């Protein structure tokens, strides 16, 4: 029996020079089986670049369901939509368009978190981008920390793990990468922190032993 499901985009208000955030949401009944295959701007497919390559459009989350528009500017005031695909049936659905607005900050403002990848799962050996997004004036800068032995340790770039502004990139995820990571957005008027929880799903190992006669 086919289960009806739909997809929609939730957008945020962006401040010029900062970031704007869009989230592709699907019906909860199929969420574990659906991932986002494409994002569109004014009906044209977006080709996001890798975060470390300095791209302005960054896709994150375990289901590619988060789109971050970096260095927001007036020409980003457009309609955005996403296309999601069901892994079991192959069925694709495209969301109605949603608008992003970008304005110039009228006064100084401490950072305010819009969203963070709060609860994500990645298979062992897979790649994932955890995303943190805040608005503020001037635009906030970002830092990422790892919870370890009751302490917060700043994330240093390595071969597997790196930080590119509001995006934490984990490659070839290991079981030890699971746990809580903290994003800090800050400017001279204040800061705000938010935790992101990552679960790493272990590989399924099947052992076959010959039956002894």
pLDDT in tens, 103-118: 877 788 899 888 787 7
Q: Mean pLDDT, to the nearest integer, of 83-107? A: 87
28-32, 87-91, 126-130: least confident range = 28-32
What confidence category does residue 173 fall into, taking pLDDT thresholds of 50, 70 and 90?
very high
Most confident of 25-29, 127-131, 209-213: 127-131
CB atoms < 10 A from the CB of 64, how many? 19
CATH 2.60.40.10-classified regions of the chain: 7-103, 109-201
Which fold, 109-201? Immunoglobulin-like (2.60.40)
Cβ neighbors of 211 (< 8 A, separation 6 or more) are: none
- At 207 the pLDDT is 57
Secondary structure class of 74 (helix, strand, coil): helix
Residue 19 in this model has a pLDDT that exceeds 80:
yes
What is the pLDDT of the chain when averaged over all its residues?
A: 85
- At 211 the pLDDT is 62
The tokens for 74 are: 């007036």
**Cα 200 to the chain's mean position, in Å?**
16
- At 182 the pLDDT is 94
This prediction's pTM = 0.80
CATH 3.30.9.10 correct for 7-103: no
């Amino acid at each position: 029996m086919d289960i009806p499901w739909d997809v929609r985009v939730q957008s945020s208000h962006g401040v010029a020079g900062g970031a704007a955030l869009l989230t592709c949401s699907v019906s909860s009944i199929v969420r574990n089986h659906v991932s986002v295959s494409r994002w569109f701007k004014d009906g044209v497919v977006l080709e996001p670049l890798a975060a470390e390559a300095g791209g302005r459009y960054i896709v994150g989350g375990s289901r590619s369901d988060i789109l971050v528009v970096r260095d927001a500017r007036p020409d980003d005031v457009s309609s955005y939509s996403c296309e999601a695909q069901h892994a079991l049936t192959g069925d694709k659905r495209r969301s109605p368009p949603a608008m992003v607005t970008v304005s110039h900050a009228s006064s100084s403002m401490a950072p305010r978190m819009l969203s963070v990848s709060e609860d994500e799962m990645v298979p062992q050996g897979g790649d994932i981008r955890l995303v943190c997004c805040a608005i503020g004036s001037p635009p906030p800068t970002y830092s990422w920390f790892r919870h370890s032995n009751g302490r917060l340790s700043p994330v240093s770039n390595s071969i597997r793990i790196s930080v590119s502004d509001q995006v934490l990139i984990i490659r070839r995820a290991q079981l030890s990468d699971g746990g809580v990571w903290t994003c800090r957005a800050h400017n001279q008027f204040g800061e705000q922190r938010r935790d992101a929880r990552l679960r790493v799903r272990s590989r399924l190992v099947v052992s076959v032993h010959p039956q002894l006669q």
